[in-house]
Amino acid sequence: MSKPPGPKGAFFSAAATAFRRDQLGFYASCVREYGDVVATRMGPYRIWLVYHPDAIEELLVTRARDFVKSPGVRLLRPLLGDGLLLSEGDFWLRQRRLAQPAFHRQRVAGYGEVMAGFAARHVAGWANGAVVELHGEMMALTQAIVGKTLFDADVSGDAHEASEAAKVLAEDFGAKLASLRLLPAWVPTPSHLRARRAIRRLDAIVHRIIAARRASGEDRGDLLSMLVHAQDADDGTRMTARQLRDEVMTIFLAGHETTAVALSWTWYLLAQQPEVEARLDAELRTVLGGRAPAVADLPRLTYAGMVVAESLRLFPPAYGIGRQAVRSTELGGYPVAGKTIVIAPTWAVHRDGRWFDKPDEFRPERWADDLARRLPRFAYFPFGGGPRQCIGNAFALMEATLILAAVAQRVRLSLVPGQRITPTPYITLRPEPGLRMRVARR
Ligand code: HEM
């Protein structure tokens, strides 16, 4: 066979319309109708969807060299520049190696105290019976944590400003992606100007973080110092101011919005499943006995870990991973032409009944007995895989588990009735229009 099956395409094709109307539903229906490798056309783009774990492994690992990031994610270039998420080739590899030491397991363990401490302090500000918008709360918390652990900066005063700007950019990205406007637009439309203003607001925060460190001249040995003081091994040059800005912006944004989204969905799921919540509560009592969680407790907080894993399965913040072929290659036994955009729709793969029993149910205990080891490697990949795998994987899992434990041991959160919350595929899978929850102190 030379070409995979798929919905017939043309600009106003059924595929483009379905994608525009309901991106997640489109991903889920294509695998049902056409199978593991799906080819379609949307506007000027040749788009493939790959669902089989083996084909995803080819895309992200074995044939990774045949692909670059997709035009969809490249829409983030005005915001993230040439930072780690978007850079390519030798340049990317050099920057990745530079940042890597800040994410080594031992280093990450050292961040645990800040993570649990900030979470406890944050939740202490919630009054019994109060209604909080949980997603905004999680954004503020994870932002403060990434600022403190990686940049030794206090960004607590910027939470509102940064969240507002991030929301504008998320919506702008979502609208462009849905309408397949993937090329950079120079025309100063109102939405474009709004996005530019939002980027300037975030720039101000990032520049302040960098300027404070430069002014102190100190080498604190954290990620920011590594980036500021890094020198090229060959010619001794330092990173340009623009590159430094791009790296800090990338880590600042990638390092908090994803984890905040993951936690938001976790609270949403827990609130609807009292038996899971009760089991989590029992574990927290047994393991912690009322004291604050610490990194040393993590090996015994197994159920909490499974709750996080299961939430990342059902609502993966990175709901799909996109690439574009830079040369002719092959996937799932089919020849792929250069320029083809290939998407691994994490959302749909994580809900595939071939890999997960009762795939739409929130059942943390499915992760017991090492399910992760029994699954094909790419049946579950919330952090991607291969060379471009999330650099913050261990950071995020530890942070999410510690925040879950620190918050759940102090309060119960219930959904304010009458809300319709929709997973919305912007840059990450946001709960829209937010998540209003009532606090009951334990
Ligand atoms: C639950 C939380 C998180 C999820 C679900 C997540 C997911 C991902 C995924 C799927 C990728 C790969 C994208 C691709 O292959 O195109 C990625 C890359 C990346 N993530 Fe995360 N991430 C999370 C947390 C974090 C944290 C905490 C940080 C930093 C503190 C971070 C920084 C990055 C960076 C810099 C990259 C680009 C890495 C590279 O290409 O070298 N992420 N993330």
**Domain-by-domain residue ranges, the chain?**
14-441
Weakest mean pLDDT among 15-19, 282-286, 438-442 = 15-19
Q: Average pLDDT of 130-140?
A: 97
pLDDT band of residue 29 (cuts 50, 70, 90) is: very high
pLDDT band of residue 10 (cuts 50, 70, 90) is: low
For the CA atoms of 381, 382, 386, 389, the dihedral, rounded to the nearest 10 degrees, stands at -170
| Residue in 258, 261, 265, 321 to alter for ligand 1 test, most ligand atoms within 8 A of Cβ | 258
Q: Whose CA is nearest to atom 11 of ligand 1?
A: 390
| Residue in 390, 397, 428 to alter for ligand 1 test, most ligand atoms within 8 A of Cβ | 390
Q: Considering only the C-alpha atoms of the chain, give the largest distance between any 2 of them, rounded to a whole number of Å.
A: 63
Distance 394 CA to ligand 1 centre (A): 10
In DSSP terms, 344 is beta-bridged to: 321
Number of the ligand 1 atom closest to the C-alpha atom of 99: 35
* Contact (Cβ atoms closer than 8 angstroms) between residue 94 and residue 230: no
12 has a pLDDT exceeding 70: no
pTM of the model: 0.96
CA atoms of 243 and 237, how far apart (whole Å): 13
Residues 6+ apart with CB under 8 A from 294: 112, 113, 116
In DSSP terms, 132 is beta-bridged to: 437
Q: What is the mean pLDDT of the chain?
A: 94
| Residue 46 CA from chain centroid, whole number | 25
Number of the ligand 1 atom closest to the C-alpha atom of 256: 27
In DSSP terms, 231 is beta-bridged to: 238
pLDDT in tens, 393-414: 999 999 999 999 999 999 999 9
Q: Average pLDDT of 119-130?
A: 97
- Most confidently modeled range among 72-81, 161-170, 238-247, 381-390: 381-390
Q: Which residues line ligand 1 (CB under 6 A)?
A: 69, 84-85, 96, 146, 250-251, 254-255, 258-259, 262, 317-318, 321, 382-384, 388, 390-392, 395-396
Q: Average pLDDT of 222-229?
A: 91
CA angle (160, 164, 165) in 5-degree steps = 120
Distance 290 CA to ligand 1 centre (A): 33
CA angle (187, 193, 194) in 5-degree steps = 145
* Contact (Cβ atoms closer than 8 angstroms) between residue 213 and residue 228: yes
Q: Which of 244, 224, 241, 169 is nearest to 200 (CA)?
A: 169
Q: For position 183, what pLDDT does the model report?
A: 74
pLDDT in tens, 206-219: 999 999 999 988 88
Extended strands (E) in 318-399: 321-325, 329-331, 334-336, 341-344
- Superfamily of domain 14-441 in the CATH hierarchy: Cytochrome P450 (1.10.630.10)
Distance 396 CA to ligand 1 centre (A): 9
* Contact (Cβ atoms closer than 8 angstroms) between residue 293 and residue 402: yes
Q: Average pLDDT of 365-390?
A: 97
CA atoms of 167 and 426, how far apart (whole Å): 9
Distance 34 CA to ligand 1 centre (A): 30
Q: For position 185, what pLDDT does the model report?
A: 67
Q: For position 435, what pLDDT does the model report?
A: 97
Distance 439 CA to ligand 1 centre (A): 30
14 has a pLDDT exceeding 80: no
9 has a pLDDT exceeding 70: no
Residues 6+ apart with CB under 8 A from 13: 7, 40, 41, 42
**Helix, strand, or coil here: 69?**
strand
Q: For position 15, what pLDDT does the model report?
A: 81
Number of the ligand 1 atom closest to the C-alpha atom of 395: 27
Number of the ligand 1 atom closest to the C-alpha atom of 346: 10
Q: For position 235, what pLDDT does the model report?
A: 80
Weakest mean pLDDT among 190-199, 314-323, 408-417 = 190-199
Distance 326 CA to ligand 1 centre (A): 22
CA atoms of 16 and 185, how far apart (whole Å): 20
Q: Whose CA is nearest to atom 9 of ligand 1?
A: 383
Number of the ligand 1 atom closest to the C-alpha atom of 385: 15
Distance 85 CA to ligand 1 centre (A): 8
Distance 145 CA to ligand 1 centre (A): 16
Weakest mean pLDDT among 43-57, 184-198, 340-354 = 184-198
Q: For position 344, what pLDDT does the model report?
A: 98
Number of the ligand 1 atom closest to the C-alpha atom of 85: 37
**226: enclosing H helix or E strand:** helix 223-229
11 has a pLDDT exceeding 70: no
CA atoms of 7 and 22, how far apart (whole Å): 15
